[in-house]
């Protein structure tokens, strides 16, 4: 095994009882409850290298949070194994807690009724961080996340974006090498989002932290992640770089050309179809066979035709991921 986070055949099944509809159903459920098994995470295997930021993606209910809960030691797997910085998180929660920071965007880890700064002090004492080090780190976080304008406010009175920024700082106060972020930029405005992304980039590139992040924001993935793991219905369906995923699912580009001579005969090129033609203006797109990349297509068109103008539309990552989700659904 190698890597700061190692996940091998990890699975988690939840057993729940379902209530049958209607009065008679309710009675029957009471006498003989019907138990159903939900395979939230099934046989997932992946690694995250030290100093790498990996985005764990997938539609709602795919099993992302359940995976993170097992890696943070909150949940025990039904089968399989995981190690985080060498520790089995669900067997040695305390040791794991010293190595990791975790932010669940949906739920705060801070004390609801205390001013944020007091929460920070409590965390300092729990993790036994020396005072000087603590102050220096807080100053650094304030610099990057602008916390001091609201860190004397009670957590319950903070806006969502302010609260998650405080949660981020709290998660990193003890300088953990591995960080889990489950939807860390949920509810943030565009300016704050960018600030947080900058902060995360700094944590990875300058501080060498390993980050596992989930998000539904594809701009975030584009800005932060090089590698992506895609899960669906609890199963890992894809593990690759953004480039690989674009190549595999991003074949929705268009090349729009204006021909020098509007009477030129235009034919399909290998892998490239003529989508539309109006006089001198021709739109090319992938023909559904072996899809060339948008840049290969651009080259082919320029080599074949004399054009006065050419432009390309690349599928954005959201389209690419939608195609990946749809394909994952089909298998």
Site string for Mg ion, 17-56 (x = CB under 5 A): ----------------------------------------
How far, in Å, CA of 102 to CA of 104, rounded?
7
For residue 134, state whether it binds ligand ATP (rule: CB under 6 A): no
Q: How far is the CB of 214 from Mg ion (least distance, A)?
A: 6
Q: Based on CB atoms, which residue is closest to ligand ATP, 66 or 108?
A: 66
Size of residue set near ligand ATP by CB under 6 A: 12
Contacts of 319 (CB under 8 A, 6+ apart): 250, 252
Q: How far is the CB of 190 from ligand ATP (least distance, A)?
A: 21
Q: How far is the CB of 65 from Mg ion (least distance, A)?
A: 3
Interacting positions 10-39 with ligand ATP (CB under 6 A): 14, 16, 38
Q: Binds 60, which of Mg ion, ligand ATP, none (CB < 5 to 8 A, cut-off by type)? A: ligand ATP
Do strands 5-18 and 34-48 pair parallel, antiparallel, or not at all (unpaired)?
antiparallel
Structure tokens, 50:
């030290």
* Geometric angle at alpha carbon 83, from 15 and 90, rounded to 5°: 45
Phi-psi region of 310 (alpha: psi -120 to 50; beta: other; left: phi over 0): beta
User: Rounded to an integer, what is the distance from CA 100 to the centroid of its chain?
Assistant: 18
Should residue 72 be labelled a site residue for ligand ATP when binding is judged by CB under 6 A?
Answer: no
- Position among 5, 10, 40, 320 found at the interface with ligand ATP (CB under 6 A): 40
H-helix segments, the chain: 22-31, 64-71, 93-99, 116-126, 131-145, 160-172, 190-205, 218-224, 242-249, 294-304, 317-330
Selected binder of ligand ATP within 9, 25, 33, 61 (CB under 6 A): 61
Stretch of residues binding ligand ATP (CB under 6 A), selected from 18-26, 64-72, 243-251, 283-291: 64-72
Q: Among residues 76 and 289, whose Cβ is nearest to ligand ATP? A: 76
Footprint (CB under 5 A) of Mg ion, residues 65-94 = 65
Contact of 219 with 75, CB cutoff 8 Å: no
DSSP 164-201: HHHHHHHHHTT--SEEEEESTTTT--HHHHHHHHHHHH
Q: Is 60 in the site for ligand ATP (CB under 6 A)?
A: yes
Given the rule CB under 6 A, which residues bind ligand ATP? 14, 16, 38, 40, 58, 60-66
């Amino acid at each position: 095994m190698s890597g700061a986070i190692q996940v091998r055949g990890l699975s988690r099944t939840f057993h729940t009882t379902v209530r049958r509809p209607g009065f008679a159903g309710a009675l029957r459920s009471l006498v003989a409850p019907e138990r159903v098994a939900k395979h939230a995470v099934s046989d997932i295997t992946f690694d995250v290298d030290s100093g790498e930021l990996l985005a764990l993606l997938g539609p709602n209910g795919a099993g992302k949070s359940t995976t993170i809960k097992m890696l943070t030691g909150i949940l025990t797997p039904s089968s399989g194994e995981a190690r985080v910085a060498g520790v089995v998180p669900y067997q040695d929660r305390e040791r794991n807690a010293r190595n990791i920071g975790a932010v669940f965007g949906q739920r705060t880890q801070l004390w609801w009724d205390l001013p944020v700064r007091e929460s920070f002090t409590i965390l300092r004492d729990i993790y036994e961080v020396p005072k000087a080090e603590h102050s220096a780190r807080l100053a650094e976080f304030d610099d990057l996340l602008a916390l001091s304008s609201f860190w004397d406010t009670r957590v319950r009175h903070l806006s969502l974006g302010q609260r998650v920024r405080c949660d981020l700082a709290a998660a990193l106060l003890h300088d953990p090498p591995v960080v889990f972020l489950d939807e860390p930029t949920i509810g943030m405005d565009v300016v704050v989002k960018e600030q947080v992304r900058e902060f995360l980039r700094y944590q990875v590139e300058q501080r060498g932290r390993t980050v596992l992040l989930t998000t539904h924001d594809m701009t975030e993935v584009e800005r932060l992640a090089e590698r992506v793991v895609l899960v669906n219905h609890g199963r890992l369906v894809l593990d690759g770089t953004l480039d690989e995923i674009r190549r595999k699912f991003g074949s929705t580009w268009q090349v729009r050309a204006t021909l020098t001579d509007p009477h030129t005969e235009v034919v399909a090129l290998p892998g490239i179809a003529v989508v539309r033609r109006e006089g001198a203006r021709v739109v090319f797109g992938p023909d559904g066979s072996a899809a060339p990349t948008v840049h290969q297509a651009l080259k082919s068109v320029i080599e074949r035709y004399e054009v006065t103008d050419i432009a390309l539309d690349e599928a954005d990552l959201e389209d690419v991921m939608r195609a990946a989700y749809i394909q994952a659904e089909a298998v």
